[in-house]
Amino acid sequence: MKVSLSSKRKNFLAFLFLFLSMGGLSLLAKEQTHEMGQKMTLLVLQLALIVITARFFGIIFNRFFHQPRVLGELVAGMAIGPYALGAISLPFLNSPLFPRGEGFLPVTPELYGLAVIASIVLLFMSGLETDLPTFIRFSLVGTAVGVGGVVLSFFLGALIAVLLLPGVDSFISPAALFLGALSTATSVGITARVLNERRKMSSPEGVTILAGAVLDDVLGIVILAVVVGISRVQAGGSEVEWAHIGAIALKAFGFWIICTVLGILSANRLTRGLKWLRSNDAIAGVALGLALFLAGLAEMAGLAMIIGAYIMGLSLSQTDIASELRNRLHGVYNFLVPVFFCVMGMMVNFAAMKGILIFGLIYAAFAIMGKVVGCGVPAYLMGFNLRGAFRVGAGMLPRGEVTLIIAGVGLSAGAIGADLFGVAIVTLLIASIIAPPILVKSFDGGSGLRKESLLKKEERGCRIKLEFPSPHIASFIRNRIIEAFENEEFFVHRLNIEGLIYHIKKEDIFITLQQKQGQIELSTSEENRALVSLIVMEEILALKDLFEAIEKVKRPEVVCEELAVGLLSDEQEKK
């Protein structure tokens, strides 16, 4: 049998050799390989510079300017991108490292593709970070905030175009519509990263911003679809077909609502299916694959890919594998996300800003006002105080990938020129640069909620406190308790390196364990008190056995003496 297999393999190799030896085919393959090799070499070199520079700038901004790393990553992109240092021709490449792309995007499709994947990972993780019960509780205010921001921004954006741009005289002119649409989208990515760094992702403001920003993106894309529809009809000299516009809008909203509801309802079943893999790495890989799949579906439905990825993350956020997924995908996230922001920074074309800078600044100011007021007022009316309303407004400021998509579509459709594309970039830049520091600063101080009762509801539950004579004993018992929960098929996730805080999850059971010196505190809902008490009780009783067993062992000093003997003996002496 072995002989037969070996001879088959030889035949196959001989065939492969003959096939590859064929002259014409070989030449073609060589050319393609050479071209592909060049492209890949460029991509790898670009990526190397992006990864290193983004990290470097991120650390500098974080450590020396006390700003979020996002900002450093964006500035890194601006500095090394095709409109700045990246345009300088390098002798060993015979071309610039970042040659300008031929289409509306200044970077190569390969690099842009990586940025798109990074944005999918970013939004998938943002979805996973979302505390769904809080999300649902704040979805009403999130919707009000999102709609408020979109309506006012769109109106102000279009108004500025009508008032200041020559040749634009009505709200339904393509340029006015595009400038309106451009000011609607919010970049969840930048805000999510800042919220994550400040550990405010699950705060009422955080969830409201995320709910509102996601809705903004959905509305932004729907508006884009509608605006493109109107522009095309107008360009053809016909009347606007409302039925067509309605159909586009319905499809976009339909995808969002159906996928979110289906995702949340089927999350537990999906989790059970994933657990069949019996490998946490495989579970994380398949979950990320599903996020990419839903992102693709979202794009096919006429929405942004990031929305599909966010829905997937959101659906899995309340399952017991969410912490494990975050844990496993953290490395991918840390590698790719700075690439996304750096590439975003590369889109900034300094030359395009010159001619239209004043208009761009006025437009940006109104776009910022539209968001702060448009989002802040509904937030204030729905339970936030002024501080909280401002945080929500500031969190909705950053523009990002959706703005770029809208601008790109407008440019390719001929609705806006390179100058207005530059305006979009100026706005994106200003809003994105001023938003993170404002957002960081705004989170100093107390609660942003007017109705304090909302917070009290969150805190209701039970706390089990255990005191031990030393931190060493507490650490030992903490590990035993964690092991006991794992044996009960719970997922345990350590939140950060600095503090000893653990999230212990299984289906709808959620427990927090924290160790402070010699004290262990377990928090959970009143409903799960029995479970926590019984597990801890059994572990402490099991320790009794352990201590009894240790007493039976030889005295520690005897064991140590045995270990110490012979430490200084010479090999030759032994002989």
Binding site for another protein (CB under 8 A): 484, 486-489, 506, 527-528, 530-531, 534-535, 537-538, 541, 544-545
Q: Which of 318, 205, 209 is nearest to 260 (CA)?
A: 318
Q: How far is the CB of 543 from another protein (least distance, A)?
A: 10
Q: How far is the CB of 279 from another protein (least distance, A)?
A: 16
Q: In this complex, which beta carbon is closest to another protein, that of residue 512 or of residue 528?
A: 528
Token reading at 246? 């309605």
Q: How far is the CB of 484 from another protein (least distance, A)?
A: 8
Q: In this complex, which beta carbon is closest to another protein, that of residue 373 or of residue 484?
A: 484
Q: How far is the CB of 490 from another protein (least distance, A)?
A: 9
Q: Which of 249, 259, 191 is nearest to 220 (CA)?
A: 249
Q: How far is the CB of 545 from another protein (least distance, A)?
A: 8
What is residue 467's three-state secondary structure? strand
Q: How far is the CB of 397 from another protein (least distance, A)?
A: 46
Q: How far is the CB of 318 from another protein (least distance, A)?
A: 18
Q: In this complex, which beta carbon is closest to another protein, that of residue 29 or of residue 540?
A: 540
> How many of the other CB atoms lie within 10 Å of CB of 340?
27
Q: In this complex, which beta carbon is closest to another protein, that of residue 145 or of residue 511?
A: 511
Half-sphere exposure of 409 (CA within 13 A, CB side): 27
Q: In this complex, which beta carbon is closest to another protein, that of residue 544 or of residue 574?
A: 544
**Are the C-beta atoms of 431 and 182 separated by less than 8 Å?**
no
Token reading at 480? 């035993």
**Are the C-beta atoms of 396 and 186 separated by less than 8 Å?**
yes
Q: In this complex, which beta carbon is closest to another protein, that of residue 458 or of residue 489?
A: 489
Q: In this complex, which beta carbon is closest to another protein, that of residue 530 or of residue 553?
A: 530
Q: Measured between alpha carbons, how far is 209 from 191 in angstroms, rounded to an integer?
A: 8
Q: How far is the CB of 544 from another protein (least distance, A)?
A: 6
**Are the C-beta atoms of 156 and 184 separated by less than 8 Å?**
no
**Are the C-beta atoms of 131 and 122 separated by less than 8 Å?**
no
Element (H, E) at 493: strand 491-494
Q: Which of 527, 427, 463 is nearest to 182 (CA)?
A: 427
- Residue position matching structure tokens 């539950």: 461
Q: In this complex, which beta carbon is closest to another protein, that of residue 363 or of residue 490?
A: 490
Q: Measured between alpha carbons, how far is 106 from 98 in angstroms, rounded to an integer?
A: 9
- First-to-last CA distance in the chain? 55
What is residue 185's three-state secondary structure? coil
What is residue 361's three-state secondary structure? helix
Q: In this complex, which beta carbon is closest to another protein, that of residue 497 or of residue 541?
A: 541
Q: How far is the CB of 394 from another protein (least distance, A)?
A: 44
Q: What are the beta bridge partners of residue 522?
A: 464, 513
Q: In this complex, which beta carbon is closest to another protein, that of residue 457 or of residue 544?
A: 544
Q: Measured between alpha carbons, how far is 447 from 453 in angstroms, rounded to an integer?
A: 12
Q: Measured between alpha carbons, how far is 86 from 42 in angstroms, rounded to an integer?
A: 12
**Are the C-beta atoms of 368 and 430 separated by less than 8 Å?**
yes
Q: In this complex, which beta carbon is closest to another protein, that of residue 250 or of residue 277?
A: 277
Phi, psi (deg, nearest 5) at residue 543: -65, -30
Q: Measured between alpha carbons, how far is 72 from 78 in angstroms, rounded to an integer?
A: 10
Q: Measured between alpha carbons, how far is 196 from 220 in angstroms, rounded to an integer?
A: 24
Q: How far is the CB of 506 from another protein (least distance, A)?
A: 8
Q: In this complex, which beta carbon is closest to another protein, that of residue 36 or of residue 537?
A: 537
Q: How far is the CB of 284 from another protein (least distance, A)?
A: 21
Q: Which of 256, 207, 222 is nearest to 388 (CA)?
A: 207
**Are the C-beta atoms of 148 and 179 separated by less than 8 Å?**
no
Q: In this complex, which beta carbon is closest to another protein, that of residue 48 or of residue 540?
A: 540
Q: How far is the CB of 486 from another protein (least distance, A)?
A: 7
Half-sphere exposure of 528 (CA within 13 A, CB side): 20
Q: How far is the CB of 488 from another protein (least distance, A)?
A: 5
At residue 327's C-alpha, the angle toward residues 325 and 329, to 5°, is 65
Q: How far is the CB of 530 from another protein (least distance, A)?
A: 4
Q: In this complex, which beta carbon is closest to another protein, that of residue 93 or of residue 537?
A: 537
**Are the C-beta atoms of 305 and 267 separated by less than 8 Å?**
no
Amino acid at site 152? L
